[in-house]
Amino acid sequence: MIQSRFPVVLAALFAFAASSASSQMVRSGNVLACDAAKDCAKETIDGQQFYLFQTPQMTVRVAVERDSKYNHIAVMVENRAGFELHVSPSDFRIEVMEPKFKRLSYIEPDKLRLPKIKPAKMLPMPKPALAGSFAATPTVTTQLPSGRAFLGDSTLAPSGTTSGEVFFERSGGSGSLSLILPIGGTIFEIDYTQK
């Protein structure tokens, strides 16, 4: 009787280990969840609320927005490390946690059908701490009709900065969402409620 259960128990353990490993691969790296008392703060710039993360390697500012067609985020990244950081907006994601799990699709800039939206002021770019010693790799940006720019793939040299907007499909209704931004080996996570 015990011998006949052993293969079933062993198979269940392997399945659990495999699912744990795959979930860890998705969440691998240093995860910083937005907690105003610990890993992130909130700040207002020109009337727009941003989440602010500061690590020894980078400063990341994120504003979560929603319009009639899309969920989108405004992002600014400043490289404070002594090495290059890669920023790839197609790696960012929004996950609907409640009422039912769903991953919202990232939308390539050339596939957007933008409604007329009120222009938001972009973040002022901070002056590099090491002025003149390094230059940022030029980033690929595309202008939005409102004068804002998409965030493009970029490699930031030390003291380099980039900013822009990233669009995702819109989730229907209200619920709990999680914004996940993998940048430079760190995963920045912001949980918020959509009404």
Q: What is the pLDDT of residues 48-84, one digit of tens each?
A: 889 999 999 999 999 998 777 888 899 999 999 999 9
Mean pLDDT, range 22-45, rounded to an integer: 66
Q: Domain for residue 23, yes or no?
A: no
Give yes or no for residue 108 having a pLDDT over 80. Answer: yes
CATH of the domain at 87: 2.60.40
Residue 25: CB atoms within 10 Å:
8
- Count structural domains, the chain: 1
pLDDT bin (cut points 50, 70, 90) of residue 46 is: confident
Question: What span, in angstroms and rounded, lies between the C-alpha atoms of 37 and 40?
Answer: 7
Question: Does residue 73 fall inside a structural domain?
Answer: yes
Q: Using 50, 70 and 90 to split pLDDT, how confident is the model at 119?
A: very low
Mean pLDDT of 128-141: 40
Token representation of residue 191 = 């949980």
Q: Give the C-alpha separation, 55 to 43, whole Å.
A: 16
Asked if the structure places residue 185 within a domain, the reply is yes
User: Does any domain span residue 24?
Assistant: no
Percent of the chain at pLDDT > 70 equals 65
Kindly state the percentage of the chain with pLDDT values over 90: 37
In a domain, 158, yes or no: yes
Task: Report the predicted TM-score, pTM, of the whole model to 2 decimal places.
Answer: 0.68
- Whole domain around residue 178: which residue ranges? 29-194
Residues contacting residue 122 through CB under 8 Å, at least 6 positions apart: 74, 148, 149, 163, 164
In a domain, 15, yes or no: no
* Any domain includes 1: no
**Residue 21 pLDDT greater than 60, yes or no:** no
Q: Is residue 63 part of a domain?
A: yes
- Whether 127 and 140 have beta carbons less than 8 Å apart is answered as no
